[in-house]
Amino acid sequence: MKADSMIFDLDGTLWDSIAPVTESWNQVIERRLGKEARICEQDIHDCMGMVMEDIGRKLFPQLPEEEMLSVLRECCSYENEYVAKTGGRLFDGVEETLKELSQRMPLFIVSNCQDGYIEAFFEAHGLQKYFKDYENPGRSGFAKAENIALVMERNALKQPVYVGDTKGDCEASKKAGVPFVFAAYGFGEVKDSECAGKIHAFRELTKIETI
């Protein structure tokens, strides 16, 4: 496989932030809804790859829409502050591989996250220097496929690949017309027949040739 650039999902592809995200959300949830409404790490795991509004409906189905959105906004805002300080668990070889790849081709992030979350990732681990651009629905208002296309247009990319770990990532890549590389070590499952490539460790991305 050859590419002129690489676009990454974030959660389940570059890092695992489930523990600090759960911790931060529970601080807000306990204050807003009481201890009995607390969530567990599996709840956050099951929401990976979903857009924020769908996460809110899944985790807080008992709440009226307006209250659910209010709790969700507060959770996300505090999450950004919390994760920027605590960081998450980078997958093995992420920084070394990003350093090598960035010397060969431009790198980007497109994630289904709230505005400020990618910045929190950068702040926690000092990795912004490896990326040329990034996008998310919290900032652009667009879904993942449209954000992939937006990053491609903004940066004049001709033949990128998208690296992600969920079926939603795969579907967004197809919609954007970009080959999908499945990060099998992440949170989701994707059939081999739907992928242009598959990696079991982040370091395997160095095998992709530069155009």
Q: What is the pLDDT of residues 73-117, one digit of tens each?
A: 999 999 999 999 999 999 999 999 999 999 999 999 999 999 999
Q: Which two tokens stand for residue 191?
A: 């059939």
In terms of residues, how long is the chain?
A: 211
21-24-27 Cα angle (round to 5): 145
- Going 193 to 51 to 186 to 157, the CA torsion angle's sign is positive
Evaluate if residue 173 carries a pLDDT over 90: yes
pLDDT in tens, 20-49: 999 999 999 999 999 999 999 999 999 987
pLDDT of 16: 97
How are beta strands 107-110 and 209-210 bridged, if at all? unpaired
pLDDT of residue 181: 98
Question: Does residue 171 surpass a pLDDT of 90?
Answer: yes
Structure tokens at 95: 């920084």
Residue 52 scores a pLDDT above 90: no
Average pLDDT value over all residues in the chain: 96
Non-local CB neighbours of 156 within 8 Å, separated by 6+ positions? none
Output the pLDDT for position 110. Answer: 98
Count of other CB atoms within 10 angstroms of residue 161 = 22
Residue 1 or residue 108, greater confidence: 108
Three-class SS state of 186:
coil
Mean pLDDT in residue range 127-137: 98
Flag whether pLDDT at 51 surpasses 90.
Answer: no
C-alpha 114/C-alpha 22 separation (Å) is 15
